[in-house]
Amino acid sequence: MAIASDRPPTDGAAQAAAGTPAAPASPSSTVDRGPLDAHALRAEFPILGTTAHGKPLVYLDSAATSQKPLAVIEAMDTYYREYNANVHRGIYQIGERATAGYEAARASVARFINAPSPREIVFTRNATEAINLVAASWGRKNIGRGDAIILTEMEHHANLVPWQILVQERDADLEFIPITDDGILRLDVFEVLLRLKPKLVAFTHVSNTLGTINPVAEMTALAHAAGALVLVDGAQAVPHVPVDVAAIGADFYVFSGHKMLGPTGSGALWGRRELLDAMPPYMAGGEMIREVHLRRSEFNEVPWKFEAGTPDIAAAIGFGAAAEYLMALGMGRVQAHEHELIVYAMDALRREFPNLDLYGPPADARGGVIPFNVPGVHPHDVAQVLDRSGVAVRAGHHCTMPLHERLDLVATARASFNVYSTREDVDQLIVGLREVYRLFA
């Protein structure tokens, strides 16, 4: 006798529709509402009112993880206080509310990147897990001996190591699109590499270290023309630029919720439906099955086929709230705000510290990230002195060791922005850097 799972989510479309907020807004549809008022927004981020070492906190490490607005914190708080229950299981009121909230979050995340259907959104813990899912599931099924996968020299370790493991296991090959000294991908070399007829091309949309915004639609078209599938790592793009996966045309797009104002433990894989349908499960257990017998099982439909076990329900609900929050702000306005800040910061840093080493492309080709070094001072020392001024920046290799090797750098300090960042934050960075120069230079 078949033992059915207790209420497997089989009617996805209906579930996804349940509780879905109305008025879908495409990410770029609100570009022309005037500039974003970051000063007003800050009141919605409680942590920005706190201090570090007795100084007002200046948070310039948003590329590592963003701060969270009240809308996100309260959505998660409300779930735990009012309808904490498992999803796709309980035939009782709060269980059904939890399921509706979880699936409404999926619909919000789908709308945020203009995915054709919420069924194409698989919730993961983060971008790393989403890439590992594709490498383990699609990769093991489709990559064989001698096949080529093309990456770039600027990838985060999350979009490198899973592919290293796969090609070692399958005796396949990795090739890399090189970069120029200021961190721009060499598309001329990419076109030559495509003659290898790769099975997959995987690249970051925005570099976490240099901020480079890559021409993802153009690269996708080139890869498709050569017969390759495309995975885009959008971890540093979704918080900062309008993302429309339908317009990009890629096959997989991965990102983390915690960098786009959502909670840690939230992330997503978007994949084209027919690809997800054809992929074997990544993890197995409850939730991802339709029927289980002692010696065989039938799997659930996508996306639940890839969501084994009880998911992080609160994180998904917070992730959905973050997507709604950003859509309400308008990603075009977010991008314009951060661009203005990057121009201001790069000009000010160059003016104040003529010998400061700044890396990456010109402001017009970069997202909200500025990597730098004070000549002769280790970036860890720079970060420590800045910390005493209340300024939080990241220092190290930022999980891009090969990129640092390519640029002949041991480490860098990195200031990174988000919607709540202001010119005053940049001014405080400069005050802190003056102290670095006073102490070391």
Instruction: Tell me if 97 contacts ligand C6P by CB under 6 A.
Output: no
**Site for ligand C6P (CB under 6 A): which residue of 86, 128, 220, 412?**
128
Q: Which of residues 2-61 bind ligand C6P (CB under 6 A)?
A: none
Closest separation in Å from C-beta 61 to ligand C6P:
7
Q: Which of 64, 167, 221, 399 is catalytic?
A: 399
Q: Shortest CA distance to 196 belongs to which of 169, 219, 173, 217? A: 173
Q: Indicate the DSSP class of residue 362.
A: -
Stretch that binds ligand C6P, among 80-88, 125-133, 288-296, 316-324 (CB under 6 A): 125-133
Contact assessment for residue 254 and residue 233, using Cβ atoms and an 8 Å cutoff: yes
Q: Is 399 an annotated catalytic residue? A: yes
Phi, psi of 300 (to 5 degrees): -70, 175
Instruction: Tell me if 399 contacts ligand C6P by CB under 6 A.
Output: yes
Structure tokens given for 11: 């009617």
Phi, psi of 231 (to 5 degrees): -115, 130
Q: Which of residues 191-230 bind ligand C6P (CB under 6 A)?
A: 204, 208
**Site for ligand C6P (CB under 6 A): which residue of 31, 64, 283, 365?**
64
Instruction: Tell me if 114 contacts ligand C6P by CB under 6 A.
Output: no
**Site for ligand C6P (CB under 6 A): which residue of 137, 214, 236, 422?**
236
Instruction: Tell me if 398 contacts ligand C6P by CB under 6 A.
Output: yes
Q: In what order do the strands lie in the sheet with 3-4?
A: 3-4, 289-292, 297-299
In whole angstroms, give the CA distance from residue 105 to residue 253: 17
Instruction: Tell me if 256 contacts ligand C6P by CB under 6 A.
Output: yes
In whole angstroms, give the CA distance from residue 311 to residue 5: 16
- Which residue has 């076109």 as its token pair? 191
Instruction: Tell me if 179 contacts ligand C6P by CB under 6 A.
Output: no
Q: Indicate the DSSP class of residue 212.
A: B
Instruction: Tell me if 147 contacts ligand C6P by CB under 6 A.
Output: no
Stretch that binds ligand C6P, among 21-29, 186-194, 233-241, 372-380 (CB under 6 A): 233-241
**Site for ligand C6P (CB under 6 A): which residue of 48, 110, 115, 127?**
127
In whole angstroms, give the CA distance from residue 300 to residue 303: 8
- Which residue has 């790069």 as its token pair? 346
| 331-352 and 423-440 helices, crossing angle to 10° | 30
Contact assessment for residue 211 and residue 182, using Cβ atoms and an 8 Å cutoff: no
In whole angstroms, give the CA distance from residue 404 to residue 382: 18
The sign of the torsion formed by the CA atoms of 286, 289, 291, 294 equals: negative
Closest separation in Å from C-beta 152 to ligand C6P:
11
Instruction: Tell me if 67 contacts ligand C6P by CB under 6 A.
Output: no
Stretch that binds ligand C6P, among 67-75, 120-128, 370-378, 417-425 (CB under 6 A): 120-128
- Residue 208 or 300 with smaller CB distance to ligand C6P: 208
Q: Where do contacts with ligand C6P occur on this chain (CB under 6 A)?
A: 63-64, 126-128, 156, 158-159, 204, 208, 233, 235-236, 256, 394, 398-399
